[in-house]
Amino acid sequence: MHVIKVEKAVEMIPDGATIMIGGFLGVGTPQIVIDEMIKQKKSNLTVIGNDTAFPNSGIGKLVVSKLVKKIIVSHIGTNPETQKQMIEKAIDVELVPQGTLAERIRAGGVGLGGVLTPTGIGTVVAEGKQIFKINDAEYLLELPIKADFAIINAKKADCNGNLVYSLTARNFNPIMAMAAKTVIAEVDEILPIGTIPPDDIHTPGIFVDYIVRAR
């Protein structure tokens, strides 16, 4: 694990990368890293997250800057710019039920071949997907989701990369940290090793590659 400047962290992300971004309506989202991505004009991105937040927050800022070619999210209802670009076919939107999205990311992180869920049976969500019948009930096979990068946000880190999230910011961040090749964590505070009690650690440092200090 290395502590680096945000500029160096974002330089590692190539155009066209697939990126998971933590947060829920911008809460628990790495805003500093996103701002730097916009500054460096990282483009043609595939972004995976719970939502596209708002036009002036979180993933929404990447959408407004027209840096995203595809998003995989549970909803876009709070961001009219995402809706506009989808209607204009300027961005590809894949809507995934929220619980299914979380489980697909978790499956990618723990090495499962997929998850079975009844959510979406009989709707457009089921189109083109395998359906299994188990004990007289039907289930969709939802495949794992992985990414090139996970950009996450935490309240605290120690010098080994162990992370602690604050309250509801502990949403998609922990599972995304497990499901990407490279994990960049934006943190508010970096503490000496041993100062975070083991029971308080939400994401072990083994999953974290780089830490960026929030300004």
How far lies 32's CA from each of 42, 123, 145, in Å?
A: 14, 38, 25
Q: How far apart are the first and last CA of the chain?
A: 20
| pLDDT per position as a tens digit, 26-55 | 899 999 999 999 999 999 999 999 999 999
Average pLDDT, the chain: 94
| pLDDT per position as a tens digit, 187-200 | 999 999 999 999 99
Burial class (CB in 10 A: 0-12, 13-18, 19+), 36: buried
